[in-house]
Structure 1
Amino acid sequence: MHWSKRNTEEEVQEEVAVWECESTECVGWMRKNFSFDEKPSCPLCGSSMKSGERMLSKLTNLQGR
């Protein structure tokens, strides 16, 4: 039997600006910094989106490595 310690690094969360779908039947949302449009439409249902905020995991940009 093998036992190992997993790397249990605590997940850092931050309040992030997001776009949220205005349709009550859709759960679509996206981070604002992932959108190129001034006011995007929902990628799931095509409805308009409204501005909001969510507590999300902090992302690290690995592109510069």
Structure 2
Amino acid sequence: MAFGKKNQKEVVKEDLRIWECTSEDCNAWMRDNFKSEETPKCPICKSDMSTTMKELEVVDNHSGGWNKIE
């Protein structure tokens, strides 16, 4: 019998589109499915952001925002 060992769900990762801050002094980024506008500004320093890809754990956005898939 193993105490404390939980059945853990497998972590699903995939390449996802993200937005990165273009400022050299800021390292903020956000997932594309969590942005609030078409071309977001950095929420930390208000600089422009650019898109790139990053391997991340899959997280669904259930906020019901403008980019909700129906």
Q: Between Structure 1 and Structure 2, how many residues are aligned?
A: 62
Q: Determine the structure 1 residue equivalent to 2:21.
A: 21
Q: Determine the structure 2 residue equivalent to 1:38.
A: 38
Task: Quote how far apart the aligned CAs of 1:32 are.
Answer: 1.1
Alpha-carbon RMSD: 2.1
Task: Quote how far apart the aligned CAs of 1:59 are.
Answer: 1.7
Show structure 1 runs of 5+ residues with no match: none
- Are residues 61 and 26 of structure 1, via their aligned partners in 2, closer, same or farther at CA, if it must alter by over 3 Å? closer
| Cα shift readout 1:5-58 (whole Å, capped 9, x = no counterpart) | 122333110111111000111111111111131211100111100011111101
- Are residues 41 and 61 of structure 1, via their aligned partners in 2, closer, same or farther at CA, if it must alter by over 3 Å? closer
Q: Determine the structure 2 residue equivalent to 1:55.
A: 55
Show structure 2 runs of 5+ residues with no match: 64-70
| Partner SS state of residue 15, structure 2 | strand
